[in-house]
Amino acid sequence: MISPFGLMYLRPGSLWTDFVVRRKSIRNILGHPVSDFEAKGEISGILAEASTHESERMKHRWDQEQHSLTHTLVIRDSADVKQGDYLTTAGRTFLVLLSEDPGNLGATGLIYLEERNDLK
């Protein structure tokens, strides 16, 4: 498939995907804290799996020997996502590890994710 962005070949599944942003909120019910994840909006981006080389390169950001970086999400503009938010799409859930704005221009954004199988 030739993409409308130029003469670049795009495989099926590597196109734009919509994600629902869920943020943790804590409420007080009868004196007990109850946490829940509320939908805070939607973002759209291109999801790519992180290679071993990329996770090796990102170790210095978290000061850990091993890290759980599994995917990278490339978005247009900037997104209002924070560390600890969850992104959900088509039965898959991702934990936001880091959100950054390369170049500090607000034109694009990179979101580093960990795929979670224990949350739906």
Residue 6, pLDDT > 80, answer no
Cα–Cα dist 44/20, whole Å:
9
- Tell me what the mean pLDDT of segment 88-111 comes to: 87
Q: Into how many domains does the chain fold?
A: 1
Residue 4, pLDDT > 90, answer no
Q: Under 8 Å CB-to-CB from 99, ≥6 apart: which residues?
A: 79, 81, 82, 83, 109, 110, 111, 112
Nearest to 113 by CA among 75, 87, 77: 87
CATH number of the domain that residue 48 is part of: 2.40.10.270
- Which structural domain, as residue segments, surrounds residue 92? 16-116
Asked whether residue 64 is assigned to any structural domain, the reply reads yes
Asked whether residue 6 is assigned to any structural domain, the reply reads no
Q: What is the pLDDT of residues 46-81, one digit of tens each?
A: 888 877 665 565 655 655 556 678 888 989 888 889
Cα–Cα dist 62/47, whole Å:
21
Residue 18 CA neighbour count, 13 Å, CB half? 3
Asked whether residue 43 is assigned to any structural domain, the reply reads yes
Residue 2, pLDDT > 60, answer no
- Tell me what the mean pLDDT of segment 79-98 comes to: 90
Average pLDDT in the chain: 80
Asked whether residue 33 is assigned to any structural domain, the reply reads yes
Asked whether residue 83 is assigned to any structural domain, the reply reads yes
Asked whether residue 10 is assigned to any structural domain, the reply reads no
Asked whether residue 109 is assigned to any structural domain, the reply reads yes
Cα–Cα dist 9/21, whole Å:
29
